[in-house]
């Protein structure tokens, strides 16, 4: 296991022969994760909503892995990243649409590949009130329910892989979140005047951790070899923070957000390191949570970090799990 605080992308081992899926792989953390996993020999399934953007991102990764381009990551290339070995696949999935998730999972399972790592990364942040295709509040529906459904549908493939990992990406702001079962059940309908963008986002990020920890408990109870872990990027420069202001036409707020992010945040290649550590480092134990080692865990190299008391509440996690199964119609089969 790499000494705490010293892991970078060059420390990723040879991943040849493994299959790894990353959601939201067209930009930001998801793109950087897909790039480094492919660069080190994995077959990477780039799960994304827009096929044209997915194809463009795949071409960028191929160019970077073959030395024809640069992402600015500055990482040394690992043993599995020899020229010509890059292996990528674009899988179209809209995490705000349960029918799309089911179709994508079915398409992947048709390939009969076992899945070694699933990185639940895609998400939306602090956007105006919107609903998913199934009528859920968009941030909870995408960030939590979409990944809950996708993981459950792919669980058999993950368990067949043996020592597979499910990595769920959360956020520091999970500490501000609380699970409001009344508003979740009502899907925020008729409550737009009370809608809090950041409240909904922090709720979804707390839900990510509750899910990751509860999944780990259930995997252990089933005697599975697969593990569930979580990670957060600290404050990373991606387009996630600017989407909400752009959707509202708040150009000044958007510009100010981008300015502060540019000054204070680390780049996405640095922000993705805790995710890559959780997905690939030796010695990772199920139920662990990784983030940057700097002040406030906003930036720096990946280390094991703590999370809120609420995120470790097993009764809260059980209620959320049962509600998530009810809302998505996805039941986890740990025997398969």
* Residues classed as catalytic: 201
Task: Phi first, then psi: give them for residue 267, nearest 5 degrees.
Answer: -75, 170
Question: Please, are residues 209 and 92 in contact by the beta-carbon 8 Å criterion?
Answer: no
What is the C-alpha to C-alpha distance for residues 30 and 290, in angstroms, rounded to an integer? 16
How many CB atoms within 10 Å of residue 323? Answer: 17
- Helices 197-221 & 314-328 angle (0-180, nearest 10): 100
Would you call 184 helix, strand, or coil by DSSP? helix
What is the C-alpha to C-alpha distance for residues 319 and 4, in angstroms, rounded to an integer? 35
**If you count them, how many residues does the chain have?**
336
Contacts of 140 (CB under 8 A, 6+ apart): 184, 200, 203, 204, 207
Contacts of 258 (CB under 8 A, 6+ apart): 241, 242
């Amino acid at each position: 296991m790499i000494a705490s605080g010293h892991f970078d992308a060059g420390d990723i081992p040879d991943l040849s022969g493994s299959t790894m899926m990353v959601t939201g792989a067209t930009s930001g953390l998801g793109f950087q994760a897909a790039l480094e996993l492919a660069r080190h020999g994995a077959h990477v399934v780039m799960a994304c909503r827009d096929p044209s953007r997915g194809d463009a991102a795949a071409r960028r990764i191929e160019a970077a892995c073959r030395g024809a381009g640069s992402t600015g990551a500055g990482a040394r290339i690992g043993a599995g990243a020899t020229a010509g070995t890059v292996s990528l696949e674009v899988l179209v999935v809209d995490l705000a649409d349960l029918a799309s998730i089911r179709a994508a999972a079915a398409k992947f399972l048709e390939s009969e590949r076992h899945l070694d790592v699933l990185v639940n990364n895609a998400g939306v942040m602090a956007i105006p009130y919107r609903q998913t295709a199934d009528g859920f509040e968009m941030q909870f529906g995408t960030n939590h329910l979409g990944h809950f459904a996708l993981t459950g549908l792919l669980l058999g493939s993950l368990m067949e892989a043996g020592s597979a990992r499910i990595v769920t990406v959360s956020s520091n702001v999970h500490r501000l979140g609380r699970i409001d079962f009344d508003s979740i059940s009502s899907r925020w309908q008729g409550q737009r005047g009370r809608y809090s963008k950041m409240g909904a986002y922090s709720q979804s990020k707390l839900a990510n951790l509750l899910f990751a920890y509860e999944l780990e408990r259930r995997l252990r109870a089933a005697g599975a070899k697969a593990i569930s872990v979580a990670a957060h990027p600290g404050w990373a420069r991606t387009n996630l923070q600017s989407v909400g202001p752009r959707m509202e036409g708040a150009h000044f707020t958007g510009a100010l957000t981008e300015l502060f992010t540019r000054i204070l945040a680390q780049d996405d290649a640095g922000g993705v390191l805790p995710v890559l550590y959780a997905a690939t480092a030796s010695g990772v134990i199920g139920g662990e949570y990784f983030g940057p080692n700097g002040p406030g865990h906003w930036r720096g190299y990946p280390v094991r970090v703590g999370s809120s008391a609420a995120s470790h509440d097993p009764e809260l996690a059980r209620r959320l799990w049962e509600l998530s199964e009810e809302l998505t119609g996805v039941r986890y089969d740990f025997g398969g």
